[in-house]
Each structure stands twice: as C-alpha cells, then as structure tokens.
Copies of this chain bind each other. A is one copy, B any other.
C-alpha cells in the first residue's frame, strides 16, 4: 500500500493526538516497514545491538529483564500505540527482551535516521519526546506500586491500568478486553510469586474476571478503592 500511515487505524483513536497532513506524509516516508511477530517470538534480546525502534500497531507483548538468579521482571507491557526500543538509543544495547504475547504488528523505524527526524520534523520529534515522557511517568507509577502497595493492591492497580489502557485503544468488546498473558507474567510484573498472584486474583474475582485471555472488570469502584487510585482515563498522548 502506498499510504500505510494515512490509513492507520490507531491514528483515529481519540486517545492519540491528531496528525497534520504533512506529518502523515513525513511518517509514511520515515517508517521502515512493518514487523510481524507470532506468539512467543522476540522482537529483540537483552544485549542486542538495536538498530531500530518500534511502535506497536496491534497485538500485545512485554519487555522482560532477566537476573542471574533466574528471576524475571516484566518491566512493562507493550500495548498498541506504545513505543519501544528508544531506551537502547544510547548504549546501542537493549537492556530488556521484548516478546510477543500474541500475534503482533509493529511499525519499524531506523535509528540512524533519528537525527534526520529531529532536523526535518520538529513536531514529530516533539511527539517522540512526549511519548518518552509519558512512558517515564508510567514507570514512576509502577515503582510506587512495587514499593508501597501490598499484593492485593498491586493486582487491583494493575488490572485497572491494563483495562483502561486497552479500552482507550478501542479493544473493549462488551465482554472485556483481550489480555493474552499468563498469571506468571502478571506475577513477574508486580514482583509477586505465581502462587500468591493466583490467590489474590481469586480474592478479586467478584471485581474482575480474567479468563481465557480476556479481562473483564465488573467493580471498578471497588478495585480503585483497594488500589488507592482514582478512576481516570489515560491522558491524551501522541502516537508515532
């Protein structure tokens, strides 16, 4: 297709800031093709020299960091609209491993053209920085959760965040949002053991159901109370 960005479905979602005509033209030329991943495939490995960065177009994945003792931390989920790979911008070395949890499509950008982006399209460069700032903000919230919340509160917090983020990109289907991960992934995201994660999920079953890769929240109010957060939509943000 000639105009992959022009027809991009993500761009139309209200959570993303609109593109100008010239921005659409620029991105169409700037992008470096698409990447298609199957379930379980890795986008990049920890330690890889990263020549690209990516925007998630569809599907879901996660970035993991592995420790010498066998531990594994899920640093963040990769949802449609998320940018990943920028971290490796500096060291050239990826600090995490990105894996697809279901079939994914990503928009690819070449790192060597980054200076050109900054020279040629200030508004797109601004968007890039903005997205990085959004991500930074979210990681700060995650740190707060890991540092201060109990297991039950962490689960409640995560389910709410995940649900609202996926709803914001139009994935709600009445019966819930697709969330194709295992309990082990959620456990690794929250610094909990698999067993305890399972037990806390059971205790929240009245407020949220997560089965067969579909997450449904029935008592958001209660979850928010448990998690000590306010119920709010994800803020509007740019898309790359």
Contact assessment for B137 and A90 in the assembled complex, using a CB-CB cutoff below 8 Å: yes
Interface of A is mostly: helix
| Interface stretch of the complex, out of A5-13, A18-26, A67-75, A159-167 | A67-75
What residue in chain B is nearest A128 (Cβ atoms)?
B129
Contact assessment for B146 and A86 in the assembled complex, using a CB-CB cutoff below 8 Å: no
With an 8 A cutoff between CB atoms, is A28 at the interface?
no
Q: Which residues of B contact A139 (CB under 8 A)?
A: 136, 139-140, 143
Contact assessment for B128 and A65 in the assembled complex, using a CB-CB cutoff below 8 Å: no
Q: For the complex, count residues of A whose C-beta is within 8 A of B.
A: 51
With an 8 A cutoff between CB atoms, is A188 at the interface?
yes
| 24 intermolecular pairs with C-beta atoms under 8 Å apart | A67-B148, A73-B147, A73-B148, A86-B133, A87-B133, A87-B137, A89-B133, A91-B137, A91-B235, A95-B141, A114-B126, A115-B126, A118-B122, A118-B123, A119-B122, A125-B125, A129-B132, A132-B132, A132-B133, A135-B136, A143-B143, A147-B188, A147-B191, A148-B191
